[in-house]
Structure 1
């Protein structure tokens, strides 16, 4: 099982009473961070060929407000991060008209193949 923990905390979503709301798809499911139960974690089981998982959320905030508030922790069980997964992708409204027309990506691993991630460790 390959697990991806996504922790998204911004001033708009950080709250002691209500966690952020994500739409989950594929094999994604909500779980608990074994090192910090207060973190918001989404895991994905991608062991089966062709499987995938995703979490999406509309934030409607300037990208600059995400600085130091968006991170990813991952645990790859007997898998590697080759091929650019796990990763974060942010849809961006470049022109300011409310329509997504750009993207920013954050990959785990060493460029350009994004491999060499620790296996069986957070």
Structure 2
């Protein structure tokens, strides 16, 4: 992999390597396709693992990171039928609302034989 690197010497004597956005994206793609873990890939290419994870966060946000705040919803009012809705039908009897079983057993309702 050809890299465009900028090297700087830090106060503590360590070398700071600056990579272009193009190189960072190439590393992210290569690691994903390589089958190596992030740790293995970073050791192979001498990349600080924390740096690699910061690249992932910056350039490959997770879907849940993209959505902020409330999700829009559409409120749909229930459809009210024009005609009374049939609740139950027993033989020739049609019931259009909930009726207690006691009522159906009483002399006012269904008579059993």
TM-score category by the smaller chain? under 0.3
Task: Identify, as 1 or 2, the structure richer in helix.
Answer: 2
Question: Quick check: which has more Rg, 1 or 2?
Answer: 2
Higher RCO (Cα < 8 Å, 6 or more apart) = 1
- TM-score normalised by L of structure 2: 0.25
Identify the structure with the greater strand proportion: 1
